Amino acid sequence: MTNGSRFLASIAIAAGGLFGCSDDPAAVGDAAGDATSATDASETTPDSDATTPDSTPDAELPDTELPDTTPDTTEPVDTTPVDTTPPVPDSSVTPDNTLCSSPGGSLNVYDLQNPACPDHPSPEPIISVDALPVELNGLIITGTFGDTFTAQDPRGGPYSGITIFNHGLYANEAKVGDRVDLSGKYSEFFENTQVYLEEMTFNGTAPVPAPFVAEHPAHLATNGQLAEMFEGVLVQVTDVYTTHTQPDCPNDYGEFEVTGRLRIDDMGYDWNDPDGARLGDHFASITGPLLFSFGNHKIEPRTEADVVVLEKGNSSGISKCLATECRARADAFVTHEVVINEIMADPFGDDTYQEWIELYNPGNAPINLAGWAMRDCGDQLFLLGGPEASIAPKGYTVVGMTRDRQDNGGVAVSLEYGVNGFYLPNTIGAVLLYNGADGQATLVDQTRYSRFDPWDVFFSGKSLERKGATSDGTVPASWQPGSSKYGDSNNFGTPGEPND
């Protein structure tokens, strides 16, 4: 794929709305509050316009009790949750500006990469006709990828590496560990610092610089604290898991994501082939030069030795993609007779059986959900029913893949849809609740969610909690991330209980 077409594809994905990816397939193997109840005053505080006339047959009510049709008027309280997930720690790594060349002297790699160097080119040349002629001496080749090398100043540290586009020159001669002097033209090629190679002299071999070991993989991920500093540098991350097998869905460019949303690419060693990355893959370490291409920083493993696997994920734990228009407009009228009150779309670690959807009845009478339909914007359909399909006034019902708490992370699931019933994409998704399955059914509630801007409340390992029973479920302002740890997993949310 050309740079332009892939770049446009990236824009389409980031713009979102129509696409979604799931970290658990239809046959799974394997990111705010409800009207709070219990002991606080908001127990009986659903929004007044969420209360619907009681249409429950009398036979379903106690003989001595008539339905309460008095509307509640107290607005649910919006609260800001306390984020109890350990944050990404700030890195203490800082560049050594003494490695810059003396002002007016010959440029080195640090000068080209570090904006604080006195001779750092400004403005940076961004197209080939403006490229700056440079000579770089004493570099050590750290990676070879066909028409691309990575080379590093042996003094190491931030800003010590650079990408060399060889366009076929010395492609067969260059080896990792070669010490070289080179000349060419420096530019920022689609925001990646590179030298277009013209000549290169081999001066024997030297020890390859030890990889920089990141304290947290997020530091090296796209927009990470250290990503720019270590672009072109040999790096390593440790104790990471596969969290997304197709981050460019609906396209597949051979990349996958690990902990911290750090991408791993296949330009050198294709660990995806033949079995492919699986959700929950556990790596002792992944090593390679950090490159920037098509809008993302990514590690490029060079050989099989750069990918040290502790455990493979479930064979069916792959990310699935959807690319269909939604059956309902985001601004469609909803009755709010029942509210999609909380969803866990991206549980931490292995997604197997751990996704769930919580429904809330803001009214004053029980509602029988038998025959109701839960859909997404694609072709998924789950018909609600069974002995636990009735939802009590001010009550909650959790819909999930399995009732088995050992498999689902300790969640009290009432309605089970099974391995082929439903799944929640991990990037962009929707849940729509109808009071029937035919074309005449009424849309009761809907939610949309996304991992892209402006959805800044969607995090892996945290549910999305509805802030108010009548809030617009299709916008991020109506949601907050779960902050209470539940069950025996490292996930946060309040399934079957009032939101935080």
pLDDT value of residue 259: 92
Residue 470 to residues 41, 68, 272, Cα–Cα distance (Å): 18, 20, 45
pLDDT tens digits, one per residue of 482-492:
999 998 878 99
- Please write down the HEC assignment for all residues of the chain: CCHHHHHHHHHHHHHCCCEEEECCCCCCCCCCCCCCCCCCHHHHCCCHHHCCCCCCCHHHCCCCCCCCCCCCCCCCCCCCCCCCCCCCCCCCCCCCHHHCCCCCCCCCHHHHHCCCCCCCCCCCCCCHHHCEEEEEEEEEEEEEECCEEEEECCCCCCCCEEEEECCCCCCCCCCCCEEEEEEEEEEEECCEEEEEEEEEEEEEECCCCCCEECCCHHHCCCCCCCCCCCCCCEEEEEEEEEEECCCCCCCCCCCEEEHHHEEECCCCCCCCCCCCCCCCCEEEEEEEEEEEECCEEEECCCCHHHEEEEECCCCCCCCEEEECCCCCCCCCCCCCCCEEEEEECCCCCCCCCCCEEEEECCCCCCEECCCCEEECCCCCEEECCCCCCEECCCCEEEEECCCCHHHHCCCCCCEECCCCCCCCECCEEEEEEECCCCCCCCEEEEEEEECCCCCCCCCCCECEEECCCCCCCCCHHHEEECCCEECCCCEECCCCCCCC
Q: Measured between alpha carbons, how far is 303 from 273 in angstroms, rounded to an integer?
A: 13
Alpha-carbon dihedral angle through residues 316, 8, 455, 87, given to the nearest 10 degrees:
70
Residue 416 contacts residue 352 (beta carbons within 8 Å): no
pLDDT value of residue 428: 83
Residue 77 CB neighbours (<10 A): 14
Which CATH code, of 3.40.630.10, 2.40.50.200, 3.30.565.10, 3.40.1390.20, is assigned to 97-205? 2.40.50.200
- 149 Rama class: left (phi>0) / alpha (psi -120 to 50) / beta: beta
User: One-letter amino acid identity for 170?
Assistant: Y
Residue 475 CB neighbours (<10 A): 14
pLDDT value of residue 71: 43
Structure tokens belonging to residue 478: 């109506």
Residue 34 contacts residue 469 (beta carbons within 8 Å): yes
Q: Does pTM top 0.85 for this prediction? A: no
Q: Measured between alpha carbons, how far is 212 from 163 in angstroms, rounded to an integer?
A: 17
Alpha-carbon dihedral angle through residues 411, 413, 418, 422, given to the nearest 10 degrees:
-90
pLDDT value of residue 394: 96
- Edge-to-edge strand ranges of the sheet holding 381-383: 381-383, 373-375, 428-434, 443-450
Domain boundaries, the chain: 97-205
Q: Max CA-CA distance within the chain? A: 95
Q: Measured between alpha carbons, how far is 477 from 352 in angstroms, rounded to an integer?
A: 29
pLDDT value of residue 444: 97
Q: Token pair 């409800």 is at which residue?
A: 34
| pLDDT averages per 10-residue partition of the chain, 500 residues | 38 37 37 36 37 38 39 40 60 96 94 96 79 95 95 97 94 95 91 92 97 97 96 97 82 87 92 76 96 93 96 76 72 95 86 88 96 91 91 96 90 88 84 93 94 86 93 95 90 94
User: One-letter amino acid identity for 134?
Assistant: V
pLDDT tens digits, one per residue of 252-263:
788 999 999 999
